[in-house]
């Protein structure tokens, strides 16, 4: 779009609340991200080094790892598939077992170096799927440093729940996890940790399993720059598809067999005013992501899409390790399924222009009683996605909740102040090619709050529980991470 056209469109959209004089001197700056771009990625990918284990017959002998039995593909194959499906970054997250730290150190890391050389277009991080003490699994993303290999070996060998041999039941306790987080947080270059499939072990809505709200609060309190969030949309979304492409009526999206996903998203994210909103209502920087959890492709009898084939986590960053990790750590992230969108910018401005605008993951300082303007731009890409569909955005929701500070009940999974402030449909946005632009004004903002954006290609007002055999390609959603408004 030509700059003058962008300027005119923005003026039309903002005139009712602000006037064109409030726009930057360079009109393109309204949604200008500088040298950063929205880079799609995936932080939960398994290779052949996610081993199965064969128990030995001799007492005291550690089980024998079998490569290629659980995770099926080489790291290079995963990187090639990531590139093919539009990813700019990925994380190797092989999970463990007895003495798996040695496998990551001796086998996975050298193979990662080869993949980095062969597929340089994809920024590749070293990491693992941490066997979380006292919990389930989590993605551990290591900063790209000269000692990434050594640091991961220490973390996995000392704290990963299943690494010890002989087996050590004492490792499977939350205090061990907090001890690990304290260690990670004290590193010169700390990693990022994201809880995987948080409600897969839940038995009903609000009846949690291996992960629970108080546990995540403990993590975030202990190492707020390490434990930064959770998978909003888990992997294994192809569990409802047979190898011939037909429907598996018994398949559960994400492997969520007891308490199903909602629009492909975990209940901790998808429930309006639920657990995620309770964390944001405390002012916590707690972000959501979306991954493949790729082990074995659905065409080969698995339950997984290739990295980037269905789920994407977009990070606003330059195409390099440190800025991508910084983007994840600081919430410059939105997530989407089925390539429903490929860009999402949210710009929040104080009505009196008293402070710099804020964007996804950021915070805006505003005076009590002032208006706050919200401008949203979405790219709804033309053409078919990897499922052969050409989805279109049907609705976009602006969601707002109050920030009230720490809760007294750390098991809380509700924020009753959360509401859909505005629902936008086609009549409410301006389309220019692939871009949809819309605005809204929050009037007389009196207390601190947060806002986030959600959208869908369906007609559902709220995501409903996904039935067995649900077609993931016809139930697409996207979620932004929040912008905080701090009122003074």
What contacts 465, CB < 8 A, 6 or more positions away? 260, 261, 262
> Which of these, 1, 425, 350, lies nearest to 9 by C-alpha position?
1
What contacts 178, CB < 8 A, 6 or more positions away? 218, 219, 222
Distance CA 238, CA 19 (A): 48
Residue 13 has pLDDT above 70, yes or no: no
> Which of these, 4, 24, 2, 1, lies nearest to 375 by C-alpha position?
24
What contacts 463, CB < 8 A, 6 or more positions away? 262, 263, 264, 265, 270, 456, 477
More confident residue, 124 or 21: 124
Q: For residues 309 and 292, is the Cβ–Cβ distance under 8 A? A: yes
Residue 268 has pLDDT above 60, yes or no: yes
In three-state secondary structure terms, 28 is helix
The distance in angstroms from the start CA to the end CA of the chain is 38
CATH fold label, 33-487: TIM Barrel (3.20.20)
pLDDT at 18: 37
Mean pLDDT of all residues in 227-249: 98
Residue 4 has pLDDT above 60, yes or no: no
Residue 162 has pLDDT above 50, yes or no: yes
Mean pLDDT of all residues in 256-265: 98
Q: If you average pLDDT over every residue of the chain, what do you get? A: 94
In three-state secondary structure terms, 188 is coil
Query: How many CA atoms are closer than 13 Å to the CA of 95, on its beta-carbon side?
Result: 23
Query: Taking phi first (over 0 means left), then psi (-120 to 50 degrees means alpha), and beta for anything else, what does residue 68 get?
Result: left
CB atoms within 10 A of CB 416: 11
Domain boundary assignment for the chain: 33-487
Mean pLDDT of all residues in 390-397: 98
Q: For residues 264 and 208, is the Cβ–Cβ distance under 8 A? A: no
CA 187 to chain centroid, in Å, comes to: 24
Residue 151: its H or E element: helix 148-159
Between CA 443 and CA 448, with CA 445 as vertex, the angle to 5 degrees is 150
> Which of these, 16, 295, 322, 267, lies nearest to 141 by C-alpha position?
322
Write the pLDDT tens digit of every residue in 83-122.
999 999 999 999 989 999 999 999 999 999 999 999 999 9
pLDDT at 60: 83
Q: How confident is the model at residue 352 (pLDDT cuts 50, 70, 90)?
A: confident
Distance CA 285, CA 291 (A): 20
Q: For residues 220 and 226, is the Cβ–Cβ distance under 8 A? A: no
Q: For residues 51 and 66, is the Cβ–Cβ distance under 8 A? A: yes
Write the pLDDT tens digit of every residue in 401-418.
999 999 999 999 999 999
Partnered with residue 45 across adjacent β-strands are: 92, 294
Cα 45 to Cα 158, 309, 420: the distances in Å are: 23, 13, 34
pLDDT at 20: 37
Q: How confident is the model at residue 21 (pLDDT cuts 50, 70, 90)?
A: very low
Q: How confident is the model at residue 353 (pLDDT cuts 50, 70, 90)?
A: confident
Q: For residues 360 and 344, is the Cβ–Cβ distance under 8 A? A: yes
Write the pLDDT tens digit of every residue in 292-304.
999 999 999 999 9
Q: For residues 202 and 209, is the Cβ–Cβ distance under 8 A? A: yes
Write the pLDDT tens digit of every residue in 307-328.
999 999 999 999 999 999 999 9
Residue 212 has pLDDT above 70, yes or no: yes
> Which of these, 267, 172, 182, 268, lies nearest to 229 by C-alpha position?
268
Q: What percent of the chain is modeled with pLDDT above 90? A: 91
181-187, Cβ contacts within 8 angstroms, sequence gap of 24 or more:
181/219, 181/222, 181/223, 181/226, 181/227, 182/222, 182/223, 183/154, 183/155, 183/158, 183/159, 184/155, 184/223, 184/226, 185/222, 185/223, 185/225, 185/226, 187/151
28 — phi, psi (to 5°)? -65, -15
pLDDT at 28: 56
Distance CA 257, CA 249 (A): 12
Residue 19 has pLDDT above 80, yes or no: no
Q: For residues 218 and 286, is the Cβ–Cβ distance under 8 A? A: no
CB atoms within 10 A of CB 121: 11
**Helical pair 109-118 and 75-84, crossing angle rounded to 10 deg:** 40
pLDDT at 389: 97
pLDDT at 57: 76
CB atoms within 10 A of CB 426: 11
CB atoms within 10 A of CB 33: 14
Residue 2 has pLDDT above 70, yes or no: no
DSSP string spanning 281-334? HTT---EEEE---BSSBGGGT-SBPPTTTSEEEEEEE-SSHHHHHHHHHTT-EE
Q: How confident is the model at residue 67 (pLDDT cuts 50, 70, 90)?
A: very high
């Amino acid at each position: 779009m030509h700059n003058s056209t962008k300027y005119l469109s923005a003026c039309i959209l903002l005139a009712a609340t602000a006037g064109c004089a409030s726009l930057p001197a360079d009109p393109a700056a309204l949604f200008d991200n500088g040298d950063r771009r929205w880079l799609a990625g995936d932080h939960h990918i398994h290779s052949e080094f996610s081993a199965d284990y064969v128990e030995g017959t001799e007492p005291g002998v550690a089980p024998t790892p079998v490569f290629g039995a659980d995770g099926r593909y080489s790291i290079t194959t995963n990187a090639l598939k990531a590139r093919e499906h539009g990813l700019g970054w990925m994380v190797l997250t092989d999970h463990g077992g007895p003495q798996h730290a040695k496998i990551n150190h001796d086998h996975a890391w050298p193979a990662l170096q080869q993949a980095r050389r062969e597929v340089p277009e994809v920024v590749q991080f070293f990491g693992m799927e941490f066997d979380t003490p006292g919990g389930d699994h989590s993605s551990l993303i290591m900063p790209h440093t000269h000692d990434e290999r050594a640091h991961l070996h220490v973390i996995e060998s000392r704290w990963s729940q299943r690494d010890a041999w002989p087996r050590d039941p004492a490792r499977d306790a939350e205090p061990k996890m907090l001890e690990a987080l304290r260690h990670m947080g004290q590193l010169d270059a700390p990693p990022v940790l994201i809880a995987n499939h948080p409600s897969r072990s839940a038995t009903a809505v609000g009846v949690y399993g291996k992960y629970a709200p108080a546990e995540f609060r403990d993590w975030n309190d202990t190492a707020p720059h390490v434990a930064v969030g959770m998978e909003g949309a888990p992997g294994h979304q192809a569990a409802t598809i047979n190898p011939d492409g037909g429907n598996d009526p018994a398949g559960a999206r994400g492997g969520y067999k007891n308490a199903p996903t909602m629009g492909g998203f975990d209940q901790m994210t998808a429930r309006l005013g639920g657990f995620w909103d309770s964390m944001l209502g405390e002012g916590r920087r707690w972000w959501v992501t979306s991954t493949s959890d790729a082990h074995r492709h659905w065409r080969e009898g698995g339950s997984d899409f290739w990295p980037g084939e269905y789920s994407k986590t977009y990070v606003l960053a330059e195409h390099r390790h440190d800025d991508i990790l910084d983007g994840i750590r600081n919430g410059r992230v939105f997530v989407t399924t089925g390539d429903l969108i490929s860009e999402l910018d949210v710009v929040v401005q104080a009505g009196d222009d008293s402070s710099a605008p804020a964007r996804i993951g950021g915070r805006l300082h505003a005076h009590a009683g002032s208006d706050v303007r919200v401008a949203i731009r979405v790219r709804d890409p033309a053409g078919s996605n990897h499922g052969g569909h050409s989805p279109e955005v049907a609705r976009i929701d602006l969601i707002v909740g109050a920030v009230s500070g720490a809760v007294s009940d750390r098991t809380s999974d509700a924020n009753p102040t959360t509401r859909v402030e505005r629902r936008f449909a086609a009549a409410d946005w301006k389309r220019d090619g692939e871009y949809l632009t819309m605005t809204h004004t929050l009037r007389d903002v009196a207390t601190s709050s947060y806002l986030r954006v959600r959208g869908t290609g369906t007609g559902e007002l709220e995501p409903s529980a996904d039935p067995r055999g649900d077609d993931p390609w016809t139930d697409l959603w996207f979620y932004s991470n929040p912008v905080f408004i701090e009122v003074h």
